[in-house]
Amino acid sequence: MLNVEDLKSRTYEERMEDVMRELPIRSSEWTNYNASDPGITIIENLTAFLALQGVEIANLNYRAKMALLKMAGFVPIRGKCARVLLSPDDIMETNVLMPGQRFRLGDLIFETNREVVVGNRRIEGVFSHDKEGFKDISYILDREISVPAMLFGEEPVKENSVYFIMNGDISDLHEIIFYIKMVENANRNRTVDRTEHIFADIKWECYTEKGFVKVSVRDFTSAFVNSGEIKVSLPDIKMTEYGETPISGYCIRATLTRAEYDIVPKITNIFGFLFEVWQKDTRSFSQLFGRNDSITVKSPIGEEVYYIIFGKEKKGSSYRRYELSTSGDRNGRFCLYEKNSDGSMTFTFSEQEFGYAPQKFKDSVRVILYNEEIMRKYNVGKVLGYDEQEISIPTKNIVHETFFLIARRRDEEGYLYDFVRPEKNEEGALYYHLLEGEGKIIIEDAGDFIDADLFMGSVAVTAGDRGNIRQGNILRLADNDSNLTFYNPGAATGGCFRENLDKVRERFVKDMRTPYRAVTASDYEKLALTTPGLCIKKAKAIMSENDNLVKLVLLPDSDERFPKLSNIYIERVTKRLEERRLITSRFMIIKPTFVSVGVKCTVYVKRHFTDCRKQIEEKLRSSLDYINSDHNFGDKIRFEDVFHGIEELPCVEYVYELSLYSENVALAQQREFDIYLRQDALSYPGEINLEIVSSDR
């Protein structure tokens, strides 16, 4: 399947030529190659069958190819809206944002999914606490400043903590979202589970009248290792002010219960009381109501909209449509409507006046609002009943989760309306697939809906991966005269279009070519370097075929000059390789060794250069520093590379004398002029004996 085009492109004649060339090699006794020979006839038939089979494989239809990929565990990733967290820190007054509130950034629209209250809560102070007491690091609250702060001190240990002080009572909040910006290491691999804590465990508490009480937290920073969000779920206990920090206020505390950090965590910013929005542009909006005599709807998609009202008159039945009316002197399925001063619409039902009304139970009334674009094209087509019926819908890049169609059928009383979501697998249901990127539906099973008319229901569109905006943007309310602005401290995530067949196939091919089993030295090295959650700068697999043993030496990234390989690193890499090694092979992880290499050098420099010594010493140190360079374990230090590196400096006239020597012959030996490092060793600059001579020229 990976190379089906090759099968299709080769003709019958080309295949026969290959066969005839190979026959003498396969059998020296076969000498009759005429068409009359029965063996040739058999070969011709088999070759023709192979050519036809190749064409058929190459011309598999979409469903067959997807089915084959699904058998291998690959299905298309559905399109998703990008999700972004917004900060209202600059808003000082309380504001209520309704569900469906729209925000604009350029031509991108972002929307809320629920009611949000903003502007009445802020973080006032942040204090780190260790054995020396409190340290004020509140400057991380200023988004214009990015000075790193040691969150748990210079040496994080168990019981060190950080205090977040709020300006008001937060007891009424069920959930608080913080966003933490850390100084991240570019070499660190992301974990599959972003809530996994590898290097530390943290106890989260809030201060109440009963003292500090534990709270539930979902920490997507891996215990302050990566930038990310922290969701704090508060208990149903009244909070009170905490007064032992330099600033009194309502307090949430994070305390280390285990601290084995490979790199000391440094924080640059924290943003509090964030709320979620999703990148989508709703074109038709649906809202459900329990039956009341009147309901009020405020449009989140603008004022120029069209309303369609549906109601259930029996529990468990389909809906009926209610037409809008301005007076009550008529009989039928009608409802009164009135526009309010705030732009909302009120709809009133009266069985006494009209003879019909929705009954009183949950979700008995549904209101759908259409913008003009969708309203003009909202009639999609008719269900004809044959398999794989394909129908185009008037928009593309649809948000799968919000989409449904309205199916209209006729009975003795008029029309019945059902709201049908994609892939609703029930008896008699209309079962269809939504190809959201292409703007199509494929009806797999018409069920009880043959001859039904289909209309657009709820629909929103997304910009896919364009919605994954970078951090640091200012978003404004759309369709509103308000001056309120909102800031996104972190990049948006998750936005994508539905994968097409080519994209799924690309993933399949990439997975097939990604090493899973550790066989060769490069397999061991790559698997170790990509261990989730770890920062590994270098890896070297040393193969010993006689002992059937692989020795793997690793260099972790660290703040230390000579990084130490911790037990956490050894355990996690060992676990990863144990799952992937061949059953007959053995491996062991060894710690890196470091050896200093000294230099004796005499250099003639050009006149009028004042910093010659500094330049030459820096060049020598960088040439001999294999810990912080691209060189790997055991790489040879080439004399000519060091020599030419100095010679190419602008201030150097010529190198008169240069010699390199190992300061530990067990780890590095000199052969002729080069230094040969042991396979598990890295070099670093030792004693540099440099003599500078000014040139006469």
| Mean pLDDT for the stretch of residues 684-689 | 94
- The whole-number pLDDT of residue 361 equals 82
| Mean pLDDT for the stretch of residues 193-219 | 93
Last residue of a domain, one of 272, 304, 319: 272
For residues 51 and 190, membership in a common domain is answered with no
pTM of the model: 0.80
Confidence band, pLDDT 50/70/90 cuts, at residue 531: very high
Q: Are strands 414-420 and 275-279 parallel, antiparallel or unpaired?
A: unpaired
Q: Comparing 33 with 492, which gets the higher pLDDT?
A: 492
Number of domains in the chain: 5
- 395-412 pLDDT tens trace: 989 998 889 999 999 988
* In the predicted structure, residue 1 carries a pLDDT above the cut 80: no
DSSP string, 83-117: EEEEB-TT--S-EEEPTT-EEEETTEEEE-SS-EE
Report how far residue 128's alpha carbon sits from residue 159's, in angstroms, rounded to the nearest whole number.
Answer: 11
For residues 261 and 294, membership in a common domain is answered with no
Q: Is position 639 within any domain?
A: yes
Write out the residue range of the structural domain in which residue 525 sits: 521-590
For residues 355 and 449, membership in a common domain is answered with yes
Distance of CA 413 to the CA centre of its chain: 51
- 221-235 pLDDT tens trace: 999 999 999 999 998
- 76-104 pLDDT tens trace: 887 889 999 999 877 878 888 888 889 99
Q: Is position 77 within any domain?
A: no
* In the predicted structure, residue 66 carries a pLDDT above the cut 80: no
Report how far residue 300's alpha carbon sits from residue 115's, in angstroms, rounded to the nearest whole number.
Answer: 12
Residue 45: in which H helix or E strand, if any? Answer: helix 38-58
- The whole-number pLDDT of residue 544 equals 84
Beta-carbon count within 10 A of 458 CB = 24
Q: Is-contact 281 462, C-beta < 8 A?
A: yes
For residues 138 and 188, membership in a common domain is answered with yes
| Mean pLDDT for the stretch of residues 291-318 | 88
Report how far residue 443's alpha carbon sits from residue 435's, in angstroms, rounded to the nearest whole number.
Answer: 11
User: What is the sign of the dihedral through the CA atoms of 443, 449, 451 and 456?
Assistant: negative
* In the predicted structure, residue 75 carries a pLDDT above the cut 90: no
- The whole-number pLDDT of residue 61 equals 61
Q: Is position 23 within any domain?
A: yes
| Mean pLDDT for the stretch of residues 43-61 | 74
| Mean pLDDT for the stretch of residues 47-70 | 72
Last residue of a domain, one of 563, 590, 617: 590
Report how far residue 80's alpha carbon sits from residue 401's, in angstroms, rounded to the nearest whole number.
Answer: 9
**Cα three-residue angle 260-264-266, rounded to 5 degrees:** 135
Q: Is position 367 within any domain?
A: yes
- The whole-number pLDDT of residue 58 equals 61
| Mean pLDDT for the stretch of residues 239-251 | 93
Report how far residue 538's alpha carbon sits from residue 175's, in angstroms, rounded to the nearest whole number.
Answer: 42
Q: Is-contact 294 467, C-beta < 8 A?
A: no
Query: How much of the chain is helix, strand and coil, in % rounded to 5?
Result: 20, 40, 45
Confidence band, pLDDT 50/70/90 cuts, at residue 438: confident
Arithmetic mean of pLDDT over the chain = 89
For residues 423 and 375, membership in a common domain is answered with yes
Q: Is position 551 within any domain?
A: yes
Q: Are strands 228-233 and 175-182 parallel, antiparallel or unpaired?
A: antiparallel
Q: Comparing 345 with 54, which gets the higher pLDDT?
A: 345
* In the predicted structure, residue 345 carries a pLDDT above the cut 60: yes
Q: Is-contact 489 181, C-beta < 8 A?
A: yes
Q: Is position 563 within any domain?
A: yes
- The whole-number pLDDT of residue 291 equals 66
For residues 50 and 164, membership in a common domain is answered with no
Q: Is-contact 233 149, C-beta < 8 A?
A: no
Indicate which CATH number applies to the domain containing 565: 3.30.300
Report how far residue 589's alpha carbon sits from residue 140's, in angstroms, rounded to the nearest whole number.
Answer: 40
* In the predicted structure, residue 497 carries a pLDDT above the cut 70: yes
- 109-134 pLDDT tens trace: 999 988 888 887 889 999 999 999 99
Side chain identity at 617, as an amino acid letter? Answer: E
| Mean pLDDT for the stretch of residues 515-521 | 85
- The percent of residues above 70 in pLDDT, for the chain, comes to 96
For residues 367 and 289, membership in a common domain is answered with yes
- 264-302 pLDDT tens trace: 999 999 998 999 999 999 999 999 998 677 899 988 888
DSSP string, 636-672: -B-HHHHHHHHHTSTTEEEEEEEEEEES-TTTEEEET
Residue 11 DSSP symbol: -
- The whole-number pLDDT of residue 2 equals 45
For residues 350 and 456, membership in a common domain is answered with yes
For residues 408 and 297, membership in a common domain is answered with yes
For residues 257 and 291, membership in a common domain is answered with no
Q: Is position 555 within any domain?
A: yes
Confidence band, pLDDT 50/70/90 cuts, at residue 303: confident
For residues 257 and 304, membership in a common domain is answered with no
Q: Is position 96 within any domain?
A: no
- The whole-number pLDDT of residue 127 equals 96
- SS3 of residue 585 by DSSP: coil
Q: Are strands 586-590 and 549-556 parallel, antiparallel or unpaired?
A: parallel
For residues 637 and 657, membership in a common domain is answered with yes
Report how far residue 235's alpha carbon sits from residue 252's, in angstroms, rounded to the nearest whole number.
Answer: 12
